[in-house]
């Protein structure tokens, strides 16, 4: 009996919240955290469905039809509000509101942090530091599309087209291993296995294993061949080939959570080389001593550069 009363109370709380009679803070105090998160998803699904269909009556009718097919009695709380009708129906069938909204996943990494993401199809993504990956789990089987801001290494299982979307371009594959780096106005794709199609600013390139393509600062795409079997950063070392120094500085900042003041040097100097992720001082020496650039840490986490 107590369980039934609790169910009825939760039904009432949800109905009032959807009708705008309860605030988020009040609802959170009345239900469990799991229930509150589920209600947020329900509300998002209802709003999304309303925008797509443009008809509140149709939304309620569709939900009612699904419930009636399960031969379940629905308790109406207040027929003066369509929110209450929907709330009373969907609370009885917890699983229904998972079909109303999407399930967008966002994975972020911090300074010097890597994360390995296992996707639903068995594909794998290794996310480099200060990067963000976003994708929708709900329609993953039919739409293998991700959005990337930063750098990631992809190991894609064969199947439908797999697309990585960035602000600088798109990468499409069927099943392969490749690296994508899209930071600010730098866009670089390296194919390590299979075949990769790259589209950037109207230009398309198809890459075979060991080949890569890059666009820097809006200039044309350039291609070259690599001897690496996989990206060096997943082994703790960032490698660069003929890039302006400002991109190397940004990579150092992302790995070590420091701020590098470079206004007194020429950041367009071309750099080829690498730095370790294990020690900041070693990394700074490796990059700047080879370019005859002096560096000093005046405050914790603040590096100042100057010419000798």
Give the pLDDT confidence of 233-281 residue by residue, as tens digits: 999 999 999 999 999 999 999 999 999 999 989 999 999 999 999 999 9
**CATH number assigned to the domain with residue range 113-232, chosen from the 4 options 3.30.930.10, 3.80.10.10, 3.90.1200.10, 2.60.120.1440:** 2.60.120.1440
Taking the model in full, what pTM does it have? 0.66
Regions in the chain scoring below 70 on pLDDT: 1-11, 25, 28, 33-34, 36-38, 41, 43-102, 308
The pLDDT value given to residue 302:
92
Q: How many angstroms separate the CA atoms of 306 and 262, rounded?
A: 7
- The structural domains of the chain, with segments of one domain joined by +, span 2-99, 113-232, 236-307
CATH number of 236-307: 3.55.50.30
The pLDDT value given to residue 61:
52
The pLDDT value given to residue 43:
67
């Amino acid at each position: 009996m107590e369980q039934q009363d609790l169910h009825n109370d939760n039904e009432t709380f949800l109905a009032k919240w959807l009708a705008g009679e309860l605030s988020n803070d009040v609802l959170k105090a009345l239900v469990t955290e799991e229930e509150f998160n589920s209600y947020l998803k329900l509300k998002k699904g209802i709003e999304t469905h309303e925008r797509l269909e443009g008809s509140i009556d149709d939304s309620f009718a569709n939900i009612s039809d699904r419930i009636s097919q399960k031969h379940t009695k629905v308790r109406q709380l207040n027929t003066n509000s369509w929110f209450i009708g929907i709330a009373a129906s969907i609370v009885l069938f917890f699983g229904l509101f998972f079909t109303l909204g999407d399930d967008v996943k966002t994975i972020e990494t911090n300074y010097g942090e890597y994360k390995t993401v296992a996707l639903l199809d068995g594909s794998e993504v290794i996310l480099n530091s200060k990067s963000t990956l976003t994708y929708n789990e709900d329609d993953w089987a039919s739409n293998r599309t991700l959005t990337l801001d930063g750098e990631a290494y992809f190991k894609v299982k064969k199947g439908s087209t797999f697309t990585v979307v960035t602000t600088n371009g798109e990468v499409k594959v069927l099943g392969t291993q490749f690296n994508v780096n899209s930071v600010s106005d730098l866009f670089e794709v390296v194919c390590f296995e299979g075949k990769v199609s790259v589209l950037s600013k109207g230009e398309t390139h198809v890459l075979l294993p060991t080949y890569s393509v890059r666009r820097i600062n809006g200039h044309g795409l350039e291609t070259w061949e690599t001897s690496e079997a996989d990206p060096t950063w997943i082994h703790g070392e960032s490698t660069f080939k003929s890039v302006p120094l400002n991109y190397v500085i940004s990579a150092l900042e992302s790995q070590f959570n420091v701020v590098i003041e470079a206004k007194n040097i020429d950041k367009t100097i071309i750099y080829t080389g690498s730095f370790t992720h294990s020690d900041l001082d070693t990394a700074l020496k490796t990059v700047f001593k080879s370019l005859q650039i002096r560096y000093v840490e005046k405050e914790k986490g603040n590096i100042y550069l100057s010419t000798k």
